[in-house]
Amino acid sequence: MRLILFNKPYDVLCQFTDGGSPRATLADFIAVPGVYPAGRLDRDSEGLLLLTDDGRLQARIADPRFKLPKTYLVQVEGDPQVESLDRLRKGVTLNDGPTRPAEVERIADPQLWPRDPPVRFRKSVPDCWLKLTIREGRNRQVRRMTAAIGHPTLRLVRWRIGDWALDDLPPGEWREVPAP
């Protein structure tokens, strides 16, 4: 059984084939046959992606029934106050129903790699960073949650899935770790 941690760069598709698109895919970074992503990470999101060749492990990582915590570093537009963060902690209602409660805290600007292209900076609109942990994985969920409280996501980096974390893994790099 193989388990690979990959730091997916911005603008990389979370699949091995591009369907004719000129975009970068996992195949541009990982030349390991027989592994597949356990879950997804949007093209415009960065960070930890787990790949495995074991279907049961893949399901355990990706299936929301197992409630594996996923932690994101999220740069949001504006300056969310306690009331807004409390809405995330209680769960917000999206167009596909209410979310489970999230763990959220404001954090200092993390020491991350530069993003290419850089996040749009506006002098007149502040931004801040949040550490947000969810236990489900709907399509673009974190982005929709921050938008629901009036603070759109500017940059989204998945930092941790369960016990696995990016730590010092650079963007575009991967490492194999012991499977559980």
Is 1:179 a contact under the CB 8 Å cutoff?
Answer: yes
Instruction: Mark whether 54 is an active-site residue.
Output: no
Q: Are strands 70-77 and 153-161 parallel, antiparallel or unpaired?
A: antiparallel
Main-chain phi, psi angles of 142, to 5 degrees: -60, -45
Distance, C-alpha 71 to centroid of its chain? 7
Q: Which of 18, 42, 44, 53 is catalytic?
A: 42
Residues 6+ apart with CB under 8 A from 4: 30, 32, 35, 50, 51, 52, 174, 175, 176, 177
* DSSP secondary structure of 58-124: HHHHH-GGG---EEEEEEEES---HHHHHHHHH--EETTEEPPP-EEEEEPPP--PPPSSPPP--TT
Grouping H, G, I as helix, E, B as strand and the rest as coil, residue 54 is: coil
Active site residues: 42
